[in-house]
Amino acid sequence: MQTENQKVNLPLLTEKKVSLFIKREDKIHPLISGNKYRKLKYNIRKAKIVQYGTLLTFGGAFSNHLLATACAAHENKLKSIGIIRGEELAYKWMDNPTLSKARELGMRLKFVSRSDYRNKQSLEFIAQLKSEFGHFYLLPEGGTNDLAIKGCEEILREEDKDFNVVCCSVGTGGTLAGIINSVSLHQKVLGFPALKGEFLKKDISNFVTNNQWNLQLDYHFGGYGKVSTKLINFINDFKKETQIPLDPIYTGKMMLGILDLVKKDKFKPGTKLLVIHTGGLQGIKGMNEKLKKKNLPLINL
């Protein structure tokens, strides 16, 4: 699966003599967010080989990973189970676009309290799930494991060796790790965590084979899922100027960060940036419902 690199033209980039291309991984699939498709590919293959008919994973109410798992399971004739953070959602999932779509794709949803959710990795909790659901292929929250990283090592292609810097947003860091492992010696990778992610440096180090990378920790906008009017206005302006949609949780924060670094002359004139669009656009509807309640501006669809 290969996606196009689309050139972005903005006055700021021309002024600073920096070229910027976006790899449109968001176009891989309407529901399986680009990087989630990569992360699931080899896991689905393995789940089929070991003949577990069921995928089980975890997520919050707007999780791209959860919906991607539901959709990939559906397309591969596997069953899926989602363990959802928040008991209160048991009565409200129909009003949530992500959860209702997952349900429509056949995912069984189990709602658990926040404290149970925090213990989801414990052997005890997993054993309880086994007794309730039988055998399943377990995908961690966010979907990061060795096979997920292997899938993300296929994002970059031979022709991408032309670029000096590759940028990607970061949740668990699995996608970034795959990219780091597949760059050439002359390339550098910048990760933009979408959450307060000091711990990520260590997590990612465990998965990677070189140190040609760093994390830009100043663009999380208050934490995971947090947004501001500034961020929303940026996403809307960027779309108006480039016709490229960004999501508020990951790619919007990253792109604002990249252009801020350009503005601050952090890239030498002549630098060629490749920015990975990891998708996440399915989450805009749900975010807009939250924004409406808070009387904040909405993201233009």
Question: DSSP letters of 40-74?
Answer: HHHHHHHHHHTT--EEEEEE-TT-HHHHHHHHHHH
Considering only residues 85 through 144, tell me which ones interact with ligand PLP, judged by CB under 6 A: 142, 144
- The nearest distance, CB 263 to ligand PLP, in angstroms, is 23
Q: Which of 14, 18, 22 lies closest to 245, judged by CA?
A: 22
| Region binding ligand PLP by CB under 6 A among candidate stretches 89-97, 207-215, 220-228, 274-282 | 274-282
- The nearest distance, CB 40 to ligand PLP, in angstroms, is 11
| Cα 286 from Cα 301, distance rounded (Å) | 12
**Total residues at interface with ligand PLP (CB under 6 A):** 21
**According to CB under 6 A, which one of 59, 151, 252, 280 is a site residue for ligand PLP?**
280
Interaction of residue 286 with ligand PLP, rule CB under 6 A: no
**According to CB under 6 A, which one of 19, 22, 29, 33 is a site residue for ligand PLP?**
33
Question: Which helix (DSSP H) or strand (DSSP E) does residue 193 occupy?
Answer: strand 188-193
Q: What DSSP state is assigned to residue 298?
A: P
Of 5 and 251, CB closest to ligand PLP: 251
Q: Which residue is nearest to ligand PLP (CB)?
A: 280
| Cα 149 from Cα 39, distance rounded (Å) | 7
Of 160 and 247, CB closest to ligand PLP: 247
Contacts of 211 (CB under 8 A, 6+ apart): none
Interaction of residue 145 with ligand PLP, rule CB under 6 A: no
Interaction of residue 279 with ligand PLP, rule CB under 6 A: yes
Question: DSSP letters of 201-260?
Answer: HHHHHTT-S---EEE-TT-STTSTT---HHHHHHHHHHHHHH-----TTTHHHHHHHHHH
Beta bridge partners of 138: 56
Check: CB of residue 228 under 8 Å from CB of residue 222. yes
Start-to-end CA span in the chain (Å): 26
Interaction of residue 35 with ligand PLP, rule CB under 6 A: yes
- The nearest distance, CB 99 to ligand PLP, in angstroms, is 16
| Region binding ligand PLP by CB under 6 A among candidate stretches 113-121, 163-171, 179-187, 287-295 | 163-171
- The nearest distance, CB 110 to ligand PLP, in angstroms, is 21
| Cα 282 from Cα 3, distance rounded (Å) | 19
Of 35 and 43, CB closest to ligand PLP: 35
Of 80 and 174, CB closest to ligand PLP: 174
| Cα 30 from Cα 191, distance rounded (Å) | 24
Considering only residues 164 through 203, tell me which ones interact with ligand PLP, judged by CB under 6 A: 169-176
Interaction of residue 216 with ligand PLP, rule CB under 6 A: no
Question: What Rg, from alpha-carbon coordinates, does the chain have?
Answer: 19
Q: Which of 22, 15, 21, 7 lies closest to 269, judged by CA?
A: 15
Of 16 and 61, CB closest to ligand PLP: 61
Of 129 and 173, CB closest to ligand PLP: 173
Of 16 and 252, CB closest to ligand PLP: 252
| Region binding ligand PLP by CB under 6 A among candidate stretches 14-22, 33-41, 155-163, 223-231 | 33-41
Interface residues toward ligand PLP, by CB under 6 A: 33, 35-36, 64-65, 142, 144, 169-176, 247, 250-251, 278-280
